[in-house]
Structure 1
Amino acid sequence: MNLILTVLEITAPVFLLAGVGYLWVWMGYEYRLAFVTRLSMTLAVPCLIFTALMQAKVDPASLTTVSLAAVAVYSVLSVAMWALVRLGRLDLRTYMAPLIFGNTGNLGLPLALFAFGEAGLSYAVVIFAIMAVWSFTFGIWLVAGGGAPWRALREPMVGATLLGGIFLWQGWTTPLFLTNALELIGQMAIPLMLITLGVAVARLTPARLGRAIVLSLIRAAVCAGVAWIIGIYFVLEPVALAVLILQAATPVAVTSYLLAEKYGADADAVSGLVVVSTVMSVLYLPILLAFLL
């Protein structure tokens, strides 16, 4: 019973805030998705990442090991999902990127924070940044048939991760007044991302729901399994291993839909994956957390 209550305490705030965003749209209120997303990804999230790493109570060597493990996870998942798409005779441009990239930002960061504290958040932001680099390079190349490999380095959250890692490695800290300001800005990130997730899901028009259900089930199992195997191989300590598995198992990212819409893939099919996997995560993420805690 205590474990069930603990899991509910972790997951309930996450899904309640996403529900707020969903209800906001249902009630007909205005929500400027592009503006809030830009505010989050260019200001709030980078500040959250930088301060989390700068103040991390985690050995820099452990973060390096987690980084290498995350690179391995997304490399293996890329191969595995390519095989799945080929076996299922699915459109590569439409399905491969959504099957690889999870919602490590909107869902992964708050879950890691609530479940494993500041140490969990430190690991989660590194995994999030690695996924973002892979998404903005290889992911765009998949959907668009080409992409600039240096584009990811222009993303503020990638720069914040590199800078935060340097501060952690050197033991540096910013002046207290600046740290307090950066922390205040960073505190916007998690509630904004969760509410925005609910808004985005409410506005999507899902299609091919039967296929989306099957693919979402396969994806969740494969992602969690691959992360667990690689985490064991890298001998990650328990919190790092749990965060790696949790991040890999997050549902399909909303950004996959935005990329499909922008580059002419089947956006309705991708929106089906986003909606179905997000709804399913309400059930499987608490179960997964129960095993990881």
Structure 2
Amino acid sequence: MLSALTNSLTPILLMICLGFFLGKKTDYLENPSLAALVSNLGLPALLLYSVLSMQMQVFSMLKIIAATALVLVLVSLMSFVFLKALKLPTRFYLPPLVNPNTGNLGIPVAYALFGAEGMAIAVVISSVVQISHFTLGVGFMSGTYQPKQLLKNGPVIALVIGALFLSFNISLPTPLMNTLNMLSHITLPIMLMLLGRSISGLSIKESSKIGRASLLSLFRPVVGVLCACLVVYFFPLSRLEGSVLIVLSAMPVAVISYMLASKFKGPVDEIALMILISLPMSLCIVSLLWWLYL
């Protein structure tokens, strides 16, 4: 089992390290259009292909969406209480604790551990978290929120289209499915390298806050797993669906939280530390889960 886990996670870590190296030594990944390509084309293609090729039932998709939303609500409540106890402002600290990195880390991890079927579940979960990023995340950190932002979100649009296709039992022609498959194959490597590049560009000027950042970094995956386990226990999910939800709930702080904190003048140094510290913590927790439960 240890060998299987190592074989699954090692390529992910190597791709992140490659992205980190390229981010430090080259400008290969600097073009902002590359991230837009993944979020607006690659990830929606991956979602559509995964859902349609597995022919996921609409009821199953709705179950996964509802369960993910419930986990996010529970994590929000527990994080709110936790931050109040620490006397930290919820405006900038709540979104990083609630919204994990289910996109450019969670989906590859799900694929590595559970295969194509697990990845189909993961992209649905990630789409729900994407909505949370652009509602809870942007709304809290900016103090305002515009619903029209969701209309420009590729994965959300793909999720709606996929649900409609499943509802009316519509199948795409084979050439279109093959095209989506090709796009999905380029998505995961680019997502992982972009994560590595983002980590290489984090700016940390204050190391005095490392203690508090470490506490918050540990809280994020632990509270995510606890809330996910609670939802899985009471929710009618299959074992695979529940396992993927638990693993993705253990993911680290998302890089987008750093980007939002930079944009809205938040504690960027501390959130950067949280991203760096929570990444190995999350992978260790996932490995422990895989060893003991999954």
Letter matched to residue 231 of structure 2: I
Q: What corresponds to 2:41 in structure 1?
A: 43
| Mapping of residues 280-291 of structure 1, within 5 Å | 280-291=281-292
Instruction: Give the stretch that moved more between structures: 56-65 or 6-15.
Output: 56-65
**Which whole-Å CA distance do the structure 2 matches of 1:33 and 1:275 have between them?**
23
Poorly superposed stretches of 4+, deviation over 4 Å? none
What residue is the counterpart of 2:129 in the other structure?
131
- Residue aligning to 2:139: 141
1:55 is paired with a residue whose SS is helix
1:170 Cα deviation (Å)? 2.9
Alignment of 1:140-219 (within 5 A): 140-206=138-204, 207=206, 208-219=209-220
- Structure 2-normalised TM-score? 0.94
Which secondary structure state, in structure 2, belongs to the residue aligned with residue 150 of structure 1?
helix
Deviation at 1:229, TM superposition (A): 0.5
Deviates more, 1:187-196 or 1:209-218: 209-218
Q: How many residues align?
A: 291
How far apart, CA to CA, are the structure 1 residues paired with 2:111 and 2:55? 13
Give the conservation status (yes or no) of the 8 Å contact 1:94–1:270: no
Matched letter for residue 174 of structure 1: L
Question: 2:54 is paired with a residue of what secondary structure?
Answer: coil
Q: 2:70 aligns with which of 68, 72, 79?
A: 72
Aligned-pair distance for 1:184?
0.9
Which residue in the other structure is 2:113 paired with?
115
Contact 2:67–2:235 (CA under 8 A) maintained in structure 1? yes
| Partner Cα separation in structure 1 for residue 292 and residue 14 of structure 2 | 22
Percent identity between matched residues is: 28
Partners of 2:122 and 2:20 lie apart in 1 by 25
Question: Which residue matches 1:272?
Answer: 273
Q: Is the CA contact 1:70–1:127 (under 8 Å) kept in the aligned structure 2?
A: yes
Please give the alpha-carbon distance, in whole angstroms, between the structure 1 residues aligned to 2:18 and 2:147.
36
Match of 1:255 in 2: 256
Given the superposition, is the C-alpha separation of residues 60 and 274 from structure 1 closer, same or farther in structure 2, using an over 3 Å criterion? same
TM alignment of 1:26-105, pairs within 5 A: 26-32=24-30, 34-105=32-103
Bigger mean CA deviation after superposition, 253-262 or 198-207: 198-207
Following superposition, the deviation at residue 136 of structure 1 comes to 0.3
Conserved? CA contact 1:55–1:168, under 8 Å: no
Q: Which amino acid aligns with 1:165?
A: A
Preserved contact between residue 58 and residue 119 of structure 1 (Cα < 8 Å): no
Per the TM alignment, residue 235 of structure 1 is displaced from its structure 2 partner at its CA by 2.8
**Aligned-partner Cα distance in 2 for 1:205–1:118:** 36
- CA shift in 2, pair 1:149/1:291, >3 Å: farther
| Matched residue type, 2:203 | T
Which residue in 2 is equivalent to 1:243? 244
Q: Matched residue of 1:172: which SS?
A: coil
Instruction: Report how far residue 33 of structure 1 moved.
Output: 5.1
Higher mean C-alpha deviation, range 164-173 or range 88-97: 164-173
Asked if the contact 2:20/2:197 (under 8 Å) is kept, the reply is yes
Helix, strand or coil for the counterpart of 1:187? Answer: helix
Match of 1:4 in 2: 2
Unaligned runs of 5+ in 2: none
Distance 1:24 1:109, change over 3 A: same
